[in-house]
Amino acid sequence: MNAGTLSRQDLKTWAVNRYYYQRSIPLKDAAILSNCPDREVRRRWIQRILDHDGREGSEGGIEAWLRLCHAVGATRDEVESEELVVPGVRFAVDAYLSLARTRPWIEAVASSLTELFAPTLMAKRISAFEDHYKWVDEEGLAYFRGRVSLAKADADYALPLVLERAGSREQQDACVAALRTKCEILWAQLDAIDLACTGA
């Protein structure tokens, strides 16, 4: 993507499949909330759900992602039906939801720390789209632009929280393992999407 070698169909396949992950993020965050006994943490964490789901008078990240999908050639019906989601993506994302629902809340928080890398990644992605995919209209890039600051704010809260609450070596190891699992889940998604694009 960053090298500009994807076709229009490749971008559509990526965006439509990635939607399944995007629409699952608030479900993941709701699972963390349901497992967290700390009211102050819940009061902060709930903002993530609002950031993705939106609220009256303010669209959220999911709606912005749907605009990206439209900008790369997918209809809303195609995306929301999830008929084009490949099995590997569905399996990986569902595994992430299972982690958030079944593991201790601080481990699920740790798994979200992939967002530490998101601001740099989003900035590169915006540049790549502007350089190589000029046919994607500006409105389609709104999700990436919004996540540069939101991901930084999320990580700035989550990392100190994990460092503070994972006090024992056992908890720390479990948090590292959760983050590693999340990275593997993201990798599995990309592999499945690549296979859908190349047929290799």
Cα–Cα nearest to 35, from 90, 95, 98, 92: 98
**Mean pLDDT of successive 10-residue segments in the chain (200 residues)?**
94 97 97 97 97 90 96 96 97 98 98 94 94 94 92 95 97 98 97 90
**At 133, phi and psi to the nearest 5?**
-125, 60
pTM of the entire predicted model? 0.94
Determine contact, residues 36/162, Cβ cutoff 8 Å: no
Q: Span 8-198: which CATH code?
A: 1.20.910.10
The pLDDT value recorded for residue 57 is 81
Residue 170: how many other CB atoms lie within 10 Å: 9
The pLDDT value recorded for residue 199 is 80
Amino acid at 113: L
Amino acid at 29: D
The pLDDT value recorded for residue 200 is 60
Instruction: List the domain boundaries for the chain.
Output: 8-198
